[in-house]
């Protein structure tokens, strides 16, 4: 039996609720649009770029900037954000090829969209330094297989198939764990940035 998805009124209501501060309402938007967004991203991905990761970043950025959504079709708005993320990833890969691998800055790219709203006007270099320091602290808390996953993926630059074979995991397990780890790191860095901003009285 095919279950009908939410109607437009439900989706519009979810958007208004998220804009009003109800973060849980965003779940409905993710569940509704994730397949279409992932399909759109995959159509334009270059080799070496994961559609799932770009879609994940787009949803995070969309959640953080949903107050800027003023109406109309939500999926094209998400696709525009995903396009920005794709362009950013292409630039990141270009920079990565021009510098030695293994730097913390490569891992810090995981958190490009995690800056607090009240840090948006800070100088870019200052923002980057805060994120790197926050991520350094968060990474120090990662142990065991999780640490190996991050190291092999983001420091050594190994492909997902190679990581799965090396750690004795299925490909789906590697994707799932990396997705979960990115979420945990994102939350940790956000918390560290918020704490630092509060302690320093950053406007």
Per-residue buried b or exposed e for 31-47, using 16+ beta carbons within 10 Å of the residue's own CB: ebbbeebbebbeeebee
The full set of domain ranges for the chain reads 7-98, 101-203
Question: What are the backbone dihedrals phi and psi of residue 138, each rounded to the nearest 5 degrees, phi first?
Answer: -65, -40
Q: What is the CATH number of domain 101-203?
A: 1.10.10.10
Per-residue buried b or exposed e for 94-105, using 16+ beta carbons within 10 Å of the residue's own CB: eeeeeeeeeeee
Between the CA of residue 84 and those of 5, 8, 136, 168, 183, what are the distances in Å? Answer: 28, 26, 26, 35, 20
Give the Cα separation of 188 and 203 in Å (integer). Answer: 21
Give the Cα separation of 97 and 23 in Å (integer). Answer: 37
pTM of the full structure = 0.51
Q: Which pLDDT score is estimated for 77? A: 95
- Calculate ∠ Cα 93-172-175, nearest 5°: 30
pLDDT surpasses 50 at 101: no
pLDDT single digits (tens) 22-41 = 989 999 999 999 999 999 99
Compute the mean pLDDT over every residue in the chain, rounded to the nearest whole number: 78
pLDDT (mean) for 167-196: 82
% residues pLDDT > 70 (the chain): 77
Helices (H), the chain: 8-19, 26-44, 51-64, 74-97, 104-108, 124-139, 144-150, 160-167, 171-200
Query: Residue 5, SS3?
Result: coil
Sequence-distant (6+) residues with CB within 8 A of 164 are 170, 171, 173, 174
Q: Which pLDDT score is estimated for 122? A: 39
Give the Cα separation of 196 and 111 in Å (integer). Answer: 16
Q: Which pLDDT score is estimated for 20? A: 93
pLDDT single digits (tens) 135-166 = 778 888 888 888 888 888 777 777 888 888 88
Instruction: Evaluate whether 7-98 and 101-203 have a shared fold.
Output: no
Between the CA of residue 128 and those of 53, 102, 138, 191, what are the distances in Å? Answer: 21, 17, 15, 16
Q: Which pLDDT score is estimated for 111? A: 42
Name the residue among 68, 61, 56 with its Cα closest to residue 15: 68
Q: What is the CATH number of domain 7-98?
A: 1.10.1740.10
């Amino acid at each position: 039996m095919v279950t009908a998805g939410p109607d437009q009124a439900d989706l519009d209501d979810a958007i208004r609720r998220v804009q009003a501060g109800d973060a849980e309402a965003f779940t409905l938007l993710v569940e509704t649009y994730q397949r279409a967004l992932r399909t759109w991203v995959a159509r334009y991905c270059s080799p070496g770029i994961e559609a799932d990761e770009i879609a994940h970043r787009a949803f995070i950025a969309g959640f953080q900037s949903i107050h800027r959504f003023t109406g109309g079709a939500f999926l094209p708005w998400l696709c525009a954000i995903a396009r920005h993320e794709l362009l950013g990833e292409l630039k990141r890969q270009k920079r990565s090829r021009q510098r030695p691998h293994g730097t913390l800055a490569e891992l810090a790219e995981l958190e490009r969209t995690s800056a607090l709203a009240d840090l948006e006007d800070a100088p870019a270099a200052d923002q980057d330094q805060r994120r790197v320091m926050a991520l350094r602290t968060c990474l120090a808390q990662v142990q065991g297989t999780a640490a190996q996953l991050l190291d092999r993926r983001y420091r050594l630059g190994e492909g997902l198939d190679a990581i799965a074979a090396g750690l004795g995991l299925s490909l789906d397990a590697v994707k799932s764990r990396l997705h979960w780890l990115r979420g945990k790191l994102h939350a940790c860095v956000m918390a560290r940035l918020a704490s630092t901003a509060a302690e320093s009285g950053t406007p």
